[in-house]
């Protein structure tokens, strides 16, 4: 039974490592999306400033603004989705850690129980040897 718990613990550690990799991927995707959003905002501000400074050169800035708002909304939706996935993975990792810890605690308790049982057997054997030695010396 102890081997099966050790196997389960190793499997759980592997699963946790896999989830950590997924978490890192999602965090990198979040960072990329944040950079894309910042770049989009920066470009919009630059275009807005240029349009204000050169009203005769720029055509319909409202159309550009609509496109910008559409792209920004799409990036924010993507960002929210990524963040939800990150939270899901974190919750899953936390649950996996709890389960792994449970296996480790059970294994530890079993090991201690086996040690106690072995110590009791040794003590009984020593008691029996002591009793036999006492009886043998008092008979003589």
One-character DSSP codes across 47-113 = HHHHHHH-TTT---HHHHHHHHHHHHHHHHHHHHHHHHHHHHHHHHHHHHHHHHHHHHHHHHHHHHH
Q: Which pTM was predicted? A: 0.71
Containing domain of residue 39, as a range? 2-113
- pLDDT > 90 fraction of the chain, expressed in percent and rounded: 55
CA distances (Å), origin 131, targets 117, 124, 127: 21, 10, 6
Residue 129 falls within a domain, yes or no? no
Please check whether residue 123 lies inside any domain of the structure: no
With a cut of 60, say whether residue 37 has pLDDT above it.
Answer: yes
Q: Give domain status of residue 14, yes or no.
A: yes
DSSP 8-state symbol, 140: -
Give the mean model confidence (pLDDT) for residues 89-116: 91
Q: Is the distance from CB of 110 to CB of 5 less than 8 angstroms?
A: yes
Structure-block tokens of residue 24? 């890192």
Flag whether 67 is in a domain: yes
If one counts the domains in the chain, the total is 1
In the block, tokens 């003589």 appear at 140
Residue 131 inside a domain? The answer is: no
Distance separating alpha carbons of residues 127 and 119, to the nearest angstrom: 12
Structure tokens at 75: 């990036």
pLDDT band at residue 134 using 50, 70 and 90 as cut-offs: confident
Residue 61 is part of a domain; what is its CATH number?
A: 1.10.287
Is residue 42, in this structure, part of any structural domain at all? yes
């Amino acid at each position: 039974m102890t081997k099966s718990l050790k196997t389960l613990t190793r499997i759980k550690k592997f699963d946790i490592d896999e989830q950590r990799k997924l978490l890192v991927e999602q965090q990198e995707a979040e960072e990329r999306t944040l950079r894309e959003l910042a770049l989009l905002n920066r470009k919009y501000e630059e275009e807005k400033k240029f349009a204000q400074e050169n009203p005769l050169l720029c055509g319909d800035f409202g159309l550009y603004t609509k496109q910008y708002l559409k792209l920004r909304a799409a990036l924010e939706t993507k960002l929210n989705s990524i963040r939800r996935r990150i939270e899901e993975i974190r919750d899953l990792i936390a649950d996996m850690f709890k389960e792994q810890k449970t296996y480790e605690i059970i294994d530890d308790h079993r090991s201690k129980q086996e040690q106690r049982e072995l110590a009791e057997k040794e003590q009984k054997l020593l008691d029996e040897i002591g009793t036999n030695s006492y009886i043998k010396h008092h008979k003589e």
